[in-house]
Structure 1
Amino acid sequence: MTQSRPPVVAMPLRVRFHECDPQGIVFNAHYLAYFDMASFEFFKAIFGSYDALRERHVDCVVAESNLRYRAPSRFDDELVVEVAIAHLGTTSMILAFTVRRGDDLIATGTNRYVFVDARTLAKAAPPEDVRAKLLAHT
């Protein structure tokens, strides 16, 4: 899945040696870590920080991840992880991630986040002001 809308953020990163497997390519699970890192940059871009979201008593938990590998990346590659909102529901949101090395598409994927009350961790729709800030990027 490639993004159909412009990314909210494009996070650069350089592949570190310890992220590579014995074949010399990035171990598959690290892409989910890259998605996680980029998601915090996404929340920072929209809300100023993830803590600002939590101050509104809103938190997000990952309920589902999907990932498709397109090409390998290796130690010292310079990657960019782009993040866009693919779907905004009442109590969940899907972020779409695209990992590129220059013009090369490396990986694509999504995370479905469920909104929860930061105090109780019970599923809860975000307040309207939080939803409005997210809607501005859909």
Structure 2
Amino acid sequence: MTDRRALAAMPLRVRYHECDGQGVVFNAHYLAYVDMTAFEVEKALFGSHQTVLAAGVDLVAAESNLRYLAPCRFDDELVVSAFLTHLGTTSLVLEFEIRRGELLTTEVRTRYVFVDRVAMRPARPPAEIRDRYASFLPAADND
């Protein structure tokens, strides 16, 4: 996952209450970290989440897969980076890397679906939204 251009990278420090009884970040918090980074992607590409909503669409998570490679613990300084790996007609796939320094601790792959804000059904995003995402696709996928 290192040959791609990141859409956004978000630093964070693990808070005590995010850790479980084993002293490791509780698994659900990794998805919260990813969700926070997804909003940073929208901020980097469009200025804010509101801009996407004003275009008549929203993104909803359809599925996520997490791969834990090393534990994260209280007070660890992490960076969560997001990469676009697929852009379909009504969906996109972001892959996230969570790193502590150079160490890759967690990989997350999430498929999002664009939905019409009123009907909450899958919808094609406006061209200006899709085009900004498309500029981050790896060359082989940007056909």
**Letter of the aligned partner of 1:66 in structure 2?**
N
- The C-alpha deviation readout for 1:27-65, integer Å capped at 9, x for no partner, is 111100000000000011001101100000010111100
- 2: distance between equivalents of 1:6 and 1:122? 30
The equivalent residue for 1:11 is 10
The equivalent residue for 1:69 is 68
TM-score (norm 1): 0.96
The equivalent residue for 1:87 is 86
**Where does structure 1 lack aligned partners over 5 or more consecutive residues?**
none
The equivalent residue for 1:116 is 115
3-state secondary structure, aligned to 1:73: coil
The equivalent residue for 2:54 is 55
The equivalent residue for 1:42 is 41
3-state secondary structure, aligned to 1:112: strand
Moved over 2 A (4+): none
Aligned length: 137
TM-score (norm 2): 0.93
Identity %: 54
What RMSD over aligned residues (CA atoms) do the two structures have, in Å?
0.9
The equivalent residue for 1:133 is 132
